[in-house]
Structure 1
Amino acid sequence: MEIEMEMRATEDIDISTDITPPLIPLSFSPFNSSLNIHPSPDLSTSLRLLLHHRPTLTGRIAGLLSNRHKLTSQNDQLSHRIRADAQALAAEIAKQCGDTEPNDCVLEEAIVALCAVLTNAVEVQDNEGRNIGVAVFGSTFSWINHSCSPNACYRFTFSSSHSSSNYSESKLRIAPFFRNSQQAQVDDGVWCDGSEFAKEGEQSYGPRLIVRSIKRIKKGEEVTVAYTDLLQPKAIRQSELWSKYRFNCCCKRCSALPFTYVDHALQEISVSSHDLSGSCLNSNFIRDMVDRRLNEDIDDAISEYLSVGDPETCCKKLEKVLIQGLNDQLEGFEGKSNSKFMLHPLNHLSLNAYTTLASAYKVRASNSLSVHSEVDQNQLEAFDLSRISAAYSLLLAGSTHHLFNYEPSLIASVANFWMGAGESLLSLTRSSRWSEFVKVGEVASDLFSVTKFKCSKCSLIDRFRTCILNGQIRSADFENMSNEFLRCVSDITQKVWSFLVNGYHFLKSCKDPIDFSLLMSTKNSGTMGVKAHVNKTDISYSHGSENCVQICKEQAYYADHARANIFQLGLHCLVYGGLLAIICYGHNSHLACHVQTILDHEESFV
C-alpha cells in the first residue's frame, strides 16, 4: 500500500514565520543547461537526480513519490510524452556508461526519475519573477501537499551560505506524518531533506527554498501550499491539477457546497433580457457555452497582444467584451436574441483583462512619448494613457483584495497587485504634464510641493519600516494595519477616482474600485454599479475657450489636489503591498527591499 505523506506543524506558528530553514535542492537545472539532451529542462533535472540516487523497490527516488502508475497508465498525451522522454533520458544514461543501447532496467529508472520530477519539481523564479529553471527538493518540501486554501507559501533565495545571518533564527517547524502507516518509516530512502548533499559539490549548486506561513497554523495541523493559480475558478484548478499531477483536489475550498463566495465570484456571469430571467444560466449547457465564448474572446485578445504586440487593438477588444459582453445568438438557444451575458467584474476573465489592460495602456503611453516627446499633444495623450493604466491597476488591486477578504490564501497575488497599483500611481504623479495646469499666471499655488510624505490618519509607513527591521508581522498587528489601510485608501480613492477614469466608459461604470460589497447581490446588472462619482477632482481637457484663464485656474486648483491625493493613494497601495510581501516572503525579500527603495526615493523627492 502506498504511504500517504503530509507535513504537520511541530508547534503553533503565527503568520509571517519561516517554517523551514533554506532547503538545498536535490537537483536543479537552469533553462540554459549545458546538458543538451532535450529542450525540456525536466530531462536535465531527472538526469542530475539519477547521478546521485537510484530508485528503490517501492518506486521512490530520494524519498520522493514518483506517481509513476498514475502518470503513465492512461493512453493520453502526457503518458506518451513521458515514455518518449524516458527513452531519450535512458539513451543519455547508456551513452555516459559507454553502452550502445539502454536496457530495460535503465529505462525503468529513467521513467521513475522523470515521473518524480514531474510530480515534485517547481519552477524557480529569480528576484524579478522570471522563471530561470526547474528544481526538485527533498521530502521536507516535496511532502507538503496541495490545497486551494493553503496556509503556507515558499520563496527562493540565492545565497550559497546556510549560516547567513538573515536566516540565523530559521528552524524546521514541520515533521512528516504518515496517514495510513502505524509507524513513520524513515529507511529505504523515504525521508530525505537534501542537506546531506551540500558537501557533494554540484548538489549544493542552485537556489535555496524557504517555506513560510501565510496563516496561523496550530501544532499538529497539516501545512499546505498551492500547486496552481488560486485566482482560477474551481473547474480550471481541478483540470490543471489532474492534467499535471493526476489527482482531484478535495480541500475544504473545493469540497464546499454550494461554492465558496470566491469561487462563485470567479465564475459569475450576469444576464439581462427583456424576455428572459437570469435563470437561463442554471442550464449547464448554456453556462458552458457562454463561458467558452467569453473565454475565447478574452484569450484571443490577450494572445494576439502578446504575440503581435499591438496594445491599442488589444485595449479595444478587451474593453468591448467588458462593456458589451456577449449578446450574439447562441447555438441551441433559439428565440433569445435579446439576452445579454456580461462578465461579472470579479470573474477571473475580468481580472485577466484588467491585468492586461493596465500593461497595454502603460505600453501605449510609453510609445506615445517615444515618438514625439516634445509635442504637447503627445504629452497629453501619454498622460491620459498613464492615467488609465493606473486606474486599471487600482481596479485590479481593489477587486482581488475584496476576494482576499474571503480567502486569505490569495495574499501573494494581492501583494503584487497593490504594489503594482502603487508604483503606477506614483509614476503618474511624476509626469511633467501636471505643470501644464499651473502655467497660466498666478493661478494656483503648487500644493503638491508641500505634500506630506506620511499620512496623518495612519501609521502604515512607520509600521512597514519597523517590519523591515524586525522581520515579522503578528496576526493582531496585521489586522489593525489592514483596517487602517482600507479606511485611508477608500477615503482617498473617492477623491480621485472620477479624475482617473475621466473619458473612459467602462471604468466610469465602476462606482468604487475598492468597495465591491454590493456587487454579488445585483444578479442581473449589466454594469459594474451605479454611475461613477462626480466630485471636484474632475478636470476638463478643453483648450482655447473664451474663458480660458478661468478654466485654467479651476484646472490648476483641482489638478493640484488630484496630484497630491494620487501621491498619497500610491504610497498607501505600495506600502500595504509591501507589508503583504513581508508576510509571504520575509523582510529581506527582493519585493520588500524594492518597496523600501521606492519609499526612500519618494521621500527625498517630496
Structure 2
Amino acid sequence: MEMEMRSMEDTEIATDMTPSLVPLTFSLHHSNLHTHCSSCFSLLPLSPIPITPFLYCSPPCSAAHPFLLHHPAVSHSSDLRAALLLLSHHRPSVTSSRVAGLLSNRHKLTCHNNSDEDEVSERISSGVRALATAITELRGELEPDDAVLEEAECALCAVLTNAVEVQDKEGRALGIAVYGPAFSWINHSCSPNACYRFILSPSSSSSSQESKLRIAPSSFREEEEQNQGYGPRLIVRSIKRIKKGQEITIAYTDLLQSKAMRQLDLWSKYRFICCCMRCSVVPFTYVDHALQEISVSGCDFTSSSSSYNLVRDTAERRLNDSVDDIISEYLMAGDPEPCCEKLEKILMQGLCDELDNVEETPHYKFMLHPLHYLSLNAYTTLASAYKVRASDILSTTSTIYQNQLEAFDMSRTSAAYSLLLATTAHHLFNSESSLIASLANFWTGAGESLLYLARSSEWSKFFKSSLVASSVSKVKCSKCSLMDTFRAYICNGKIRNDDFENASNEFLDCISHDSTQKVWSFLVNGCRFLRSIKDPMDSGWLVSTSNSRATDPGALAKKKSEVCYLHESGNSIQTCEEQTCNENARVHIFELGVHCLAYGGLLAAICYGHHSHLASYVEQILDDKNNLIL
C-alpha cells in the first residue's frame, strides 16, 4: 500500500486538516521528566524533589501512563521508553515489518554500507538488546529469543522513523511522539503545503470544536483511538491553498538549509533522498541557489568545472566549519563579544586561506552571500549576542554613564540584526512560501526587539526629546490595514489566501516606503557591517543571479559584479551624543515594531491557529494599554 495522504476537498490556507490526533506512543526527554507531566507533557507546578522518576499533572494522567515504563533497562532513553509503550499496545507484523500500520524502515536503518551507518546500526543494536531485556522480564521469561529481538528491533526502528519532536509553546523540545497513519503517512517535501502544532493539556480539556478529518486515507482512525486519548496531541494545518486530491506534505527538516544539508539530514535520520519538486528542479531554484552561494576570488574561473567545484566545495566546508565553531564556542563559553567580532569579520571580509589538495594555490578569498544559510545563522546569533552584551553591561555597571551608552548601542544593534534577519528571510519567502513558519518567528522577534528598544529608559539620558506617552494599543496606521486584518482573524479565525496576500503587500509597502528608512541609519550607527547596508528592505543589496539561474562557473564569474559580497567601509562611527537625532526616531522605531509584531502574529496564526501561543502572545502585547513609550 502506498503511504501518502491526500486532501479530500479544496482547502484554503490556514485550515486545520485533522482533528487533534492522539499519539500511538510518546516519551519525555530525560531532562524533562521532573518538570513536565509524563502523560500529557504539560508543565508541572514547582514542587519538592520528586521521589519517583515519573510525575503527572492529575490522577487520570497517572492512571493512563503504564507502569512498565519505569523499567530500568529503558529508563535512560526516550526512544526506548516510546518503543516499549508502543509494544504494549501493538505487536509488529513479521511479514511486513510494520507496527500499527507504520513503516519501521528497519532494513535500511540497520544496514552497514559505511561508517556513519555502522554507528547508527550499532546504536540500534544496543537499544534493541535493552528493549528486549525489558520485554522478556515483563513477560516473566528468562532470556529474549529471536522473536522478541525482532519485535524490539521493529518497534525501535518504527519509533526512530516516525517520531516527531514535541515542542512547548516557546519551541523547546520536550520529548518525542509517534502518531498513527493519519499523520505518519504524510510525506516530506522541501516545499510543503502543511505544518503541524501540538496541544499540551490533559485529555479531558480537549476542545469541543474539533475540525473534521480532511485528508485520506483515514482507515486507521479507529486504531488511533484505542490509545485512550492520552499523550501530547497534534493537529495538521494547511499553509497553502490545497486542491482536492493534492498530496499533503510537511517538512522533516529545516527548510532554510542548503539542498546538500537537507539531503544529508534526511538521509542520516530516515534513509531517503528527497526528490520533491524543489530538490529535483535543474538548475536550482533561486532560493536554493542563494542559500549556498559563495564567492571564490583568486581562482581562474575559466578553468574546468571540476577544478572550480573542488575549490568551491573546500571553501564552503571551511566557511561552514568556521561559523559553526564560532557559534558553538559562544554557546558553550557564553562570551558574546568575541563571537560578535569573529562573525562580523567573516560577514565583511570572508575567509582567506590556502586550499589543501589544490595545485598552485594562491590565497583564496571566500565570501558568503547575504542570503547564504550561514549568513542567516550569523544574523540570528548576532541578534542574541548583542542583546546579551547589553544585559551584561547593565547588570554589572548600570550606574556608569559611558557603560549605559554602550549598552544602549548594543541593544539597537541587536534590534538591527533581528530586523535584517526578518527582511532577508522575507526575500526568500517571496520565492518559497513554505518558509512561512520561520518567517513568523523572525518578524515577531524583530518586533519584540524594536519595542524593547523603544521602551528603553536610556533614551531620556542620551537624547533631548519632548515625546508624549504613546501606547501600542493606540497605534493606528493610515497607510495599511494590517492591524485590522490581524485582529479580525484572531477574532473569527478565518482568512482567505487573497486577504493574506493583500495584507502582506500592504505591510511591505508601508514599512519599505516609510518606517524602515527612518530608523535604519539610527539602528546601525555603531556597527560597521550593518552600516554597509543602506536599506534592508531594498532587495537590490541582495541581488545575486536572480535573473539567471545559471550554475556554470564561468557564468557566475561574469555575474560577479551583480553579487553583493563586498561591503563598503561606511562613515566613521558616531556616538549617540555626536549625532543629530531626530526627535521622532523613537516613535518610528516603536511604530515599526508594532507593524512587525502584527505581521509576525498574523503569520503565526496562519501556521498554528488563531488561538496558538505565538498569535495570542502578539495579541496580548498589541492590546496592552500599559505598553507605553514615555
After TM superposition, the structure 1 = structure 2 runs for residues 441-456 of structure 1, keeping only pairs within 5 Å, are: 444-446=465-467, 449=470, 453-456=475-478
The 1:336–1:488 alpha-carbon spacing in structure 2 relative to 1, beyond 3 Å, is farther
Q: Partner of 2:102: helix, strand, or coil?
A: coil
- Structure 1 residues 401, 138: CA separation in 2 closer, same or farther (over 3 Å shift)? same
CA contact (8 A) 1:139 1:193 kept: no
- Per the TM alignment, residue 159 of structure 1 is displaced from its structure 2 partner at its CA by 3.5
2: CA distance, partners of 1:438 / 1:494? 20
Using the TM superposition, give the Cα deviation of residue 127 of structure 1 relative to its aligned residue in structure 2, in angstroms: 0.9
1:355 aligns with 2:380: yes
Partner residue, 2:258: 233
Aligned-pair identity in percent equals 62
- Once residues 306 and 457 of structure 1 are traced to their aligned partners in structure 2, the CA distance between those partners, rounded to angstroms, is 42
- 1:205 deviates by 2.3
SS in structure 2 opposite 1:578?
Answer: helix
1:180 aligned residue: none
Q: Are the structure 2 counterparts of residues 463 and 96 from structure 1 closer, same or farther at C-alpha, using a change threshold of 3 Å?
A: same
- Indicate yes or no: 2:541 matched with 1:520: no
Counterpart Cα distance in 1 of 2:202 and 2:268 = 35
Structure 1 residues 370 and 602: alpha-carbon distance in aligned structure 2, compared to 1, 3 A threshold: farther
Secondary structure in 2 matching 1:26: strand
Deviation at 1:532, TM superposition (A): 9.4
Secondary structure class of the residue paired with 2:624: helix
- Distance of aligned partners of 1:338 and 1:94 in 2 relative to their CA distance in 1, 3 Å threshold: closer
Instruction: Work out the CA distance in 1 between the residues paired with 2:126 and 2:463.
Output: 68
Q: Does 1:72 align with 2:110?
A: yes
Which string of whole-angstrom CA distances, capped at 9 and with x for unpartnered residues, describes residues 473-529 of structure 1? Answer: 210000100001101121211111111111311111223222324521463578557
Alignment match, 1:39: 76
> Structure 2 unaligned runs (5+)?
39-52, 54-69, 546-558
Question: What TM-score results when the alignment is normalised by the length of structure 2?
Answer: 0.85
Residue aligning to 1:259: 284
The alignment partner of 2:135 has SS state of helix
Structure 1: which amino acid aligns with 2:107? H
Matched, 1:110 2:152: yes
Structure 1 segments unaligned to the other structure (5+ residues): 178-185, 544-550
State the distance in 2 between where 1:95 and 1:318 align.
Answer: 54
Say if 1:390 and 1:424, in contact at 8 Å, map to a contact too: yes
Closer/same/farther in 2, CA of residues 158 and 91 from structure 1, 3 Å limit: same
TM-score (norm 1): 0.89
> By how many angstroms is 1:112 displaced?
0.4
Q: In 2, are the aligned partners of 1:24 and 1:194 still within 8 Å (CA)?
A: no
CA distance in 1, matches of 2:417, 2:302: 28
2:531 equivalent to 1:490:
no
Quote the Cα distance in structure 1 between the aligned partners of 2:447 and 2:292: 28
- Change in CA separation of 1:602 and 1:367 when aligned onto 2, cut-off 3 Å: farther
Among candidates 1, 4, 11, match of residue 2 of structure 2: 4
1:89-100 matches, within 5 Å, as: 89-100=131-142
Give distance in 2, aligned partners of 1:256 and 1:334: 33
Matches of 2:468 and 2:544, distance apart in 1: 40
The residue number in structure 2 matching 1:28 is 26
Query: Is 1:581 paired with 2:604?
Result: yes
2:214 to 173, 195, 198: 173
Specify the alignment match of 2:628 in structure 1. 605
- Mapped contact 1:448–1:564 kept (Cα < 8 A): no
Structure 1 pair 112/530, CA: closer, same or farther in 2 (3 Å)?
A: closer
Is 2:592 the counterpart of 1:569? yes
Cα deviations by residue, 1:33-64 (Å, 9 ceiling, x for unpaired): 64342532110000000011101232211111
Q: What does residue 47 of structure 2 align with?
A: none
Answer yes or no: is the 8 Å Cα contact 1:402–1:515 preserved in 2: no
Out of 398, 419, 434, which is 2:444 matched to? 419
> Secondary structure in 2 aligned to 1:172?
coil
**In the aligned structure 1, how far is the partner of 2:278 from the partner of 2:16?**
25
Indicate whether 1:101 and 2:143 are aligned: yes
Identify the residue that residue 392 of structure 1 maps to in structure 2. Answer: 417
Shift of residue 436, structure 1, vs aligned partner: 2.2
In 2, Cα distance between equivalents of 1:134 and 1:449:
45
Q: CA deviation at 1:160?
A: 3.4
Partner of 1:183: none
Which residue in 1 is equivalent to 2:226?
197
Q: Which residue of 1 aligns with 2:575?
A: 541
What residue is the counterpart of 1:181 in the other structure?
Answer: none
Which residue is 1:546 aligned to? none
The alpha-carbon deviation at position 278 of structure 1 amounts to 8.5
**How far apart in 2 are the matches of 1:88 and 1:369?**
51
Of 353, 375, 380 in structure 1, the residue corresponding to residue 405 of structure 2 is 380
Supply the distance in 2 between the matched residues of 1:531 and 1:288 (Cα, whole angstroms): 27
2:99 paired residue number: 61
